[in-house]
Amino acid sequence: MTFKDLQKLTTTIQKNNSIKPSEFDKLKGLPFWIWNQSEHKRIDSKTKGKCCFNHIIGLPKDNKTGKENRLFDYQELVYNILQNHRRLWILKATGLGISEFFLRYMACLCLRDDIYRNSQFVIVTGPNWDLSKKLIRRMKQLFETKLDIYFDSKDTLLYLNGVTIESFPSHYVDSFRSLNNPKFLFMDEFDFFLKGQQEETRAVAERYIAKSNPYIILVSTPNMPEGLMQTIEQEPEE
């Protein structure tokens, strides 16, 4: 199913989605995170834990210990870059929580106000449907533990405050060639896409720059030498 098909189904999705808009009202207008720790503690105490998006939905959990973690300094660096730049390339080590960070950031953009209503957010993974389903499932799970909100949309689709979020494997790049208003394109583990799929995905994403000026985020752990992530690293800055 393409996004063009989804536009025809928007009304049906809204009717079948069990989430009422009012359930997300507590997230409106909140900052993603308050990076100054003393200020964060002050506002957290004043609002009784309703200080920021991440505290409302629950902090990221350590995969090994299951304990909640505050956001880290390197994530603050990524956040600050996003406030001024819409094209970002990250070659990362395993286990840093960068994918989790972007899933949370995308959700926050959808819910903090109505700027992105009637737009599309796209997640592209490697050539495996299970990976695509996993990231949408992780985004849905952000709202389950603390907010007790569950979604009944299909396993590669999430609808948040008028924003259509869908995940595709890299061999389905044709599915997002004709979006009317894409605002966020997140390519996860991009270095593991097949070479032809890397080039095609990047080309399709960059064509939208003139149309809707979306965020284009390429994230990956290193794969083979001379892959596209290394190629991008060696490109001269514009």
Query: Smallest Cα–Cα separation from 12: which of 111, 149, 152?
Result: 152
Spell out the alpha helix ranges (H) of the chain: 3-16, 37-47, 53-57, 73-82, 98-112, 129-141, 195-212, 228-234
- Determine the Cα–Cα distance for residues 203 and 124; give it in Å rounded to an integer: 13
| 8 or 150, which is more confident | 150
pLDDT of 201 above 80:
yes
Residue 3's nearest CA partner among 115, 142, 168 is: 168
Instruction: Look at residue 202 and tell me if it is in a domain.
Output: yes
The per-residue pLDDT for 3 is 45
195 in any annotated domain = yes
- Domain extent for 78: 3-30+61-234
Grade residue 229 by pLDDT with cuts at 50, 70 and 90.
low
Which CATH number does the domain housing residue 196 bear? Answer: 3.40.50.300
Please count the structural domains in the chain.
1
In a domain, 50, yes or no: no
SS3 23: helix
Flag whether 42 is in a domain: no
With contact defined as beta carbons under 8 Å apart, do 184 and 156 qualify?
no
The pLDDT of residue 14: 43
Instruction: Summarize pLDDT for 42-97 with one digit per residue, the tens.
Output: 999 999 999 999 999 999 998 788 889 999 999 999 999 999 999 998 988 888 89
Residues 157, 173: Cα–Cα separation, whole Å: 16
> Within a domain: residue 45?
no
Q: Do the Cβ atoms of 198 and 227 come closer than 8 Å? A: yes
The answer to the question of residue 226 being in a domain is yes
Q: Is 149 a domain residue?
A: yes
What pTM was computed for the model?
0.87
Confidence label for 15 from pLDDT (cuts 50, 70 and 90): very low
Phi then psi dihedrals of residue 120, to 5 deg: -125, 140
Residue 24 lies in a domain: yes
